[in-house]
Amino acid sequence: MTRIDALLARGITTSFEFFPPQTDAGERHLRDALNELEPLGPSFVSVTYGAGGSTRERTHRLVVDVLERTTMTPMAHLTAVDHRRDELTAILAAYRDAGVENVLALRGDPPRGSGPDEVFWEFEHAVELAALVREVGGDRIAVGVAAHPEGHPLSPDLPSDRRHLAAKLAIADFAVTQFFFDVQDYVRMVEELAQLGCDKPVVPGIMPVTNVRQIERFAELSGAAFPSALADRLHAVEHEPAEVRRIGVEVATQLCADLLASGAPGLHFYTLNRSTATREIHANLGLHPGASAA
Ligand SMILES: Cc1cc2nc3c(=O)[nH]c(=O)nc-3n(C[C@H](O)[C@H](O)[C@H](O)COP(=O)(O)OP(=O)(O)OC[C@H]3O[C@@H](n4cnc5c(N)ncnc54)[C@H](O)[C@@H]3O)c2cc1C
C-alpha cells in the first residue's frame, strides 16, 4: 500500500516534484534528476500536469514509468481546466487501472494570455475534481489538493480562501502547499484550518532558490511574497550561480528545519527537474535514505 495518506500516518514524508519535459535535453535532465534522487528514498514523487494535449499525455507516461520502472511511488497531478467531466473520468480510470494510487486534484489556470471567460471549465473549482477522484478511485486512490499559505491570488480575502480549502480537505486526504518563504505563513494556515475543524495533513512545498529572476517570476505568478531581504542578498551575487545556489540552499534548509519543528508532516521539494539543491538540503537536514517513510 503506497497511498500517501497511509505514508503520512507512518511518519514524516519527503517528496520531490517533477514536470514532464518537452525536449530531448529536458528528458536527459529529468532522467539524471530521477536517478540521483531515487537513492534518497523519497516517500513519493509527483508529476505536474500542463496545458495542451501532448504535455498531458506525457504526464501519464511519466507517472506510469515511475511506477513500473523505479522503486518510487508516483503522484499524478490533474487539472480541471479545459476538460469535460467524461475526459477527467477516463484519465482517472486509466490511472486507477494502471495501479497509480495518488492523484493531486487541481483547478489549473487558463493558458497564458487568455482570460477565465475564454476557457472551458466544466468544473469551476478543484473541490469538484477531488470529489470525482474519490468517485472513480474509491479506496484505491488517495486524493491530494493544493493549499496556498498566503492565500490564492484570485481570492477576495484570506478567510474565504481558508474556508474553501477546508471544504476541499473535507473530501481529500491531504494537501500540498504552494511555495513560500516565511514559516509563519504555514503555521497560521494550519491553525486557521484547525479553527475550521480541519486536521488533515498539509505538506509544505519548498522551492530552493537557484536562479533569482526565475523565482521572482514564479512568486509573481503564484502570489507568494519574495522577502526583500532575501531578494537583496541574492541580487548582490546574481552573476555567481554557485553563490546564489549556496544561499538558496542555506535559506531552504532553515525553512525546512523550522517547518519540521513546527510540526509539518513532511517536506515536498519543487525540484524543477534538477537534483543538486534538493540533495544538499536533504544532507544538511540529516535525512537518511528511506528514513522519511519509516
Ligand atoms: C502543490 C501544487 C501543485 C500544482 N500543480 C499544478 C499542475 O500540475 N498543473 C497546473 O496547471 N497547475 C498546478 N498548480 C497551480 C494551480 O492549478 C493554481 O494555483 C490554480 O490557480 C488553483 O488551483 P487550486 O487547485 O488551488 O484551485 P481551487 O481550490 O479551485 O481554488 C482556486 C480559487 O477558487 C477559490 N474557491 C475554491 N473553491 C471555491 C468555491 N466552492 N466557491 C468559490 N470560490 C472557491 C479559492 O479560494 C481560490 O481563490 C499547482 C499548485 C500547487 C499549490
User: Closest ligand 1 atom to the C-alpha of 168?
Assistant: 29
pLDDT tens digit sequence for 13-33: 999 999 999 999 999 999 999
pLDDT at 294: 36
From ligand 1's centre to the CA of 197, what distance in Å? Answer: 21
pLDDT tens digit sequence for 136-153: 999 999 999 999 999 999
Angle between helices 228-235 and 241-261 (to 10 degrees): 150
The share of the chain scoring above pLDDT 90, in percent, equals 82
Residue 266 CB burial class (10 angstroms; 0-12, 13-18, ≥19)? buried
pLDDT at 40 over 60: yes
**Calpha distance 80→68 (Å, rounded):** 26
pLDDT at 48: 97
Testing ligand 1's pocket by substitution, the residue of 15, 88, 152 carrying the most ligand atoms inside 8 A of its CB is: 152
Q: What is the mean pLDDT of residues 113-131?
A: 88
From ligand 1's centre to the CA of 189, what distance in Å? Answer: 16
CA angle, 50 as apex, 220 and 148 as ends, to 5°? Answer: 40
Residue 47 grid coordinates: 508529476
Look up 192 and say whether it is catalytic.
no
pLDDT at 116: 65
Q: Are 135 and 161 in contact (CB under 8 A)?
A: no
Give the burial string for 140-176 (b: 16+ CB within 10 Å, else e): ebbbbbbbbbbbbeebeebeebbbbbbebbebbbbbb
Mean predicted lDDT score pLDDT of the chain: 93
pLDDT tens digit sequence for 228-260: 999 999 999 999 999 999 999 999 999 999 999
From ligand 1's centre to the CA of 211, what distance in Å? Answer: 25
Using DSSP's 3-state secondary structure scheme, residue 18 falls into: strand
Residue 291 — very low, low, confident or very high, per pLDDT cuts 50/70/90? Answer: low
Angle between helices 85-98 and 126-137 (to 10 degrees): 40
Alpha-carbon distances, residue 193 vs 83, 181, 215, 236, 248 (angstroms): 30, 20, 28, 38, 29
Alpha carbon 232 to chain centroid, angstroms: 27
User: Closest ligand 1 atom to the C-alpha of 108?
Assistant: 17
161 pocket-lining for ligand 1 (C-beta < 6 Å): yes
20 pocket-lining for ligand 1 (C-beta < 6 Å): no
107 pocket-lining for ligand 1 (C-beta < 6 Å): yes
163 pocket-lining for ligand 1 (C-beta < 6 Å): no
Q: Are 198 and 168 in contact (CB under 8 A)?
A: no
pLDDT at 290: 58
Domain that holds residue 219: 4-293
Domain count of the chain?
1
Which residues does 220 contact at the CB level (< 8 Å), separation at least 6? Answer: none
pLDDT at 184: 97
pLDDT tens digit sequence for 186-208: 999 999 999 999 999 999 999 99
Query: Residue 104: which CATH number?
Result: 3.20.20.220
What is the β-pairing status of strands 74-79 and 102-106? parallel
pLDDT at 119: 83
Testing ligand 1's pocket by substitution, the residue of 49, 106, 162 carrying the most ligand atoms inside 8 A of its CB is: 106
pLDDT at 113 over 80: no
288 vs 228 pLDDT, higher one: 228
> If you take atom 27 of ligand 1, which residue's CA is the nearest one?
107
pLDDT tens digit sequence for 56-84: 899 999 999 999 999 999 999 999 999 99
